[in-house]
Structure 1
């Protein structure tokens, strides 16, 4: 077996390849829009009922490796990266309802034509229209490629010096008419598409996902991962690139990409037990990951504390805070809100201890989050707290209690 290479070497391997990753993907998925190709799809079970209203053509020609649609709620605005034939978008249309919105992003003309073909039919079936399919690259969610193409049609490039004018137009479109605006989306999903992006564009891809999400929003991504770095032979195989193998993330690297982009609460929701494929002894399988946006911001002291319930002796969050089981840990206002948000990743393991007398935010002092400290009960109760209370309404030691 050939010696494996690291993800840091991928760029140099790709640079010497005799094929273009984007063209290989476009050609194969363009063909997949015309004729179903089973090898592009990792078998996936979707929630019962949501496929019943979908045209059979969409079901047959849409390819994925998981079901990120399970983690979306009514009324949310959702972007589907690499929306393909539109299966996930039309499922989401039912889940978010008439008050929600679904935007599918793809840059394959054949797939866009297929997904758009059923917009009217699905709107009639659902009784509302809340889906749009737009043309763009998922690593550049600000640039509307239809608008860029319209400019090109009117200003064909015949000389090299005209390229700069086109690039300036693209920059203006990104700023003035972004395809997906900053902080505008509740959820970004993707189903087996991130691995198809060129290696040199993947960091930008995660930054774009982060950019478009609202504070408190989340990414739910199903993709193919591997347990070892792909070999040079795998990386230089165009068929394996378009087949969701060569571009697969190593499992730990996949999670770190979210961390490096600024996400918190990164969690593996589903990991396929048995590998989908094994190539050169390397296992490739489906994994679904969820990650949240919104841990940045100032830290203010408002005498709040939390208790980690267990079962681990201690845990550490993405900002470096260590929580010790059963201990009253002092936290800033921002962290307290992150830990106790019912829609966030932490609240089930946390007991919140707010102060008896709330400190107004305008009166709060800066809180030093660089080290971990315990919070004395008097800080949350107040130094002058001297109450003696017997709760006669409590069943703690009532006639039927164990006292």
Structure 2
């Protein structure tokens, strides 16, 4: 089977093998025996969280970062490409009984391994907040176990029956999705996105965005490269299944989040020394966080923010430029995006709320073409004429 991948600099390069099958076979082997060459070793996990995890799970974990450190108690988390389940078992402890963890994987061998210890660890914790489900991470709506059950009852022998199966898959996506839209606080992944077929990667990011709640976030550790992989690298199945050939170019990785609609995209960690160098191209681990929630209507409530610095000016994902020390006029949606304590921006901004709050129900549409500067009288009110006596030294 020949696939093609679009390379930003060299055009379309052919891939003379089935990417998905190469990955599946490599990780089936990794579920049976530890594979030292799969992804780069990750240090820094909390030893207290590893104590209850069986050694078989730990030694068959293949990752390149630790996205688990960026989750909070009580959240609902999906782990894309959960593999042996180490990250999920760590999250089960961190999230507590009120939290929920869903590990998604396509590999039956890995699912069997990860599910093997569910009851044991649940009994140790005193609660069960974790499940492993079968699905493709680029199609999180389709429950593959449910699809297989239908196939078992309706074997396919004709083209018409293929069409019936496709209709059933669409029905499952709509009526019984594996992961529902707007249902998840955090999506994590650890060195898996690069394994997805090139033609499915845009859909993959759209799916991550779809399942997240408004205000939710993705925390993804993956392998990136500083230049596009060469045709020789792309045509090596071992390098694809080994997290090299499918690596994102570093800046393009962040652009994929932006194109899917995310905001507040930031690099949390970046491996200083490359994990591998192939044909002069450096491959290293990167952990990125990105937020969902900038979509929606804009209402005028006389709010402003002041950018603290140190840069003279900064620009957000919607093209708003904030100048150091200036009162920037913002709509209600943007005001909350900027100032929410969980947002990536709040530490750099000062919130300037109006003296008299405008109820959202009576707010007018925000004029996006207005001058960026919010005059103080807009915030204080045109009739504000207070004189406040000295209340003592402020020094």
> What TM-score range do you get, normalising by the shorter chain?
over 0.9
Q: Secondary structure at the match of 1:174?
A: helix
| Counterpart Cα distance in 2 of 1:91 and 1:309 | 37
The answer (yes or no) to whether the contact 1:322–1:372 under 8 Å persists in 2 is: no
Q: Deviations over 1:373-398 (max 9, x none)?
A: 10111110011111111352x6514x
Q: Quick one: distance in 1 between partners of 2:223 and 2:47?
A: 24
1:224 corresponds to: 223
Specify the alignment match of 1:17 in structure 2: 15
Structure 2 match to 1:401 = none
What SS does the corresponding residue of 1:19 show, helix, strand or coil?
A: coil
Q: Give the C-alpha shift of residue 232 in structure 1.
A: 0.5
Per-residue CA distance 1:135-159 (angstroms, 9 max, x = gap) = 0000000000000001111111111
Superposition RMSD on alpha carbons, in Å?
Answer: 1.4
Give CA-to-partner distance per residue, 1:94-127, whole Å, 9 cap, x none: 1110000000000100000000000001101111
Kept after mapping to 1: 8 A contact 2:275/2:284: yes
TM-score (norm 1): 0.95
- The answer to whether the 8 A contact 2:198-2:246 is kept is yes
CA-to-partner distance for each residue in 1:73-104, whole Å, 9 max, x for gaps? 00000000000000000000011100000000
Partner of residue 214, structure 2: 215
Equivalent position SS for 1:40: coil
Give me the whole-angstrom Cα distance separating, in 1, the residues matched to 2:11 and 2:46.
38
1:357 aligns with 2:384: no
Q: Secondary structure at the match of 1:168?
A: helix
Aligned position for 1:81: 80
Secondary structure of the residue that 1:273 maps to in structure 2? coil
- How far apart are residue 364 of structure 1 and its match? 1.0
Tell whether the 8 Å contact from 1:69 to 1:92 is kept in structure 2 after alignment. yes
Q: d(CA) in 2 for partners of 1:100 and 1:10?
A: 46
Distance in 2 between residues matched to 1:302 and 1:7, nearest whole Å: 46
Say whether the 8 Å CA contact 1:340–1:352 is kept in structure 2.
Answer: yes
Between the aligned partners of 1:365 and 1:135, the Cα distance in structure 2 is: 47
For residue 11 of structure 1, report the CA deviation from its aligned partner: 9.0
Count of aligned residue pairs for this structure pair:
390
1:44 and 2:72 equivalent? no
Which position in structure 2 is the counterpart of 1:205? 204
**1:41 positional shift:** 3.0
Q: Partner residue of 2:31?
A: 33
Q: Indicate whether 1:336 and 2:335 are aligned.
A: yes
Deviations 1:190-247 (A, max 9, x none): 0000000000000000000000000000000000000000000001111100000000
Distance (Å, rounded) in 1 between the aligned partners of 2:23 and 2:70 = 28
CA distance in 2, matches of 1:138, 1:8: 24
CA spacing shift, 1:11–1:33, aligned 2, 3 Å: farther
Whether 1:170 and 2:195 are equivalent positions in the alignment is: no
Q: Matches of 1:97 and 1:57 in 2, distance apart?
A: 23
- CA contact under 8 A between 1:11 and 1:200: conserved in structure 2? no
Distance 1:125 1:395, change over 3 A: farther
Deviations 1:33-87 (A, max 9, x none): 0000010031212123111110000000110000000000000000000000000
Map of 1:369 onto structure 2 = 368
Inter-partner Cα distance in structure 2 for 1:169 and 1:310: 55
Equivalent-residue separation in structure 1 for 2:38 and 2:337 (angstroms)? 39
Distance in 2 between the 1:190 and 1:347 partners? 26
Matches of 1:22 and 1:96, distance apart in 2: 32
Secondary structure, counterpart of 2:165 in structure 1: helix
- 1:213-252 aligned at under 5 Å gives the runs 213-252=212-251
> Matches of 1:371 and 1:247 in 2, distance apart?
44
Residue in 1 that maps onto 2:156:
157
Contact conserved, 1:321 with 1:371, CA < 8 A, in 2?
A: no
* Secondary structure in 1 matching 2:103: strand
Corresponding position of 1:53: 52
Q: Measure, in 2, the Cα distance between the counterparts of 1:246 and 1:253.
A: 15
Work out the CA distance in 2 between the residues paired with 1:34 and 1:156: 30
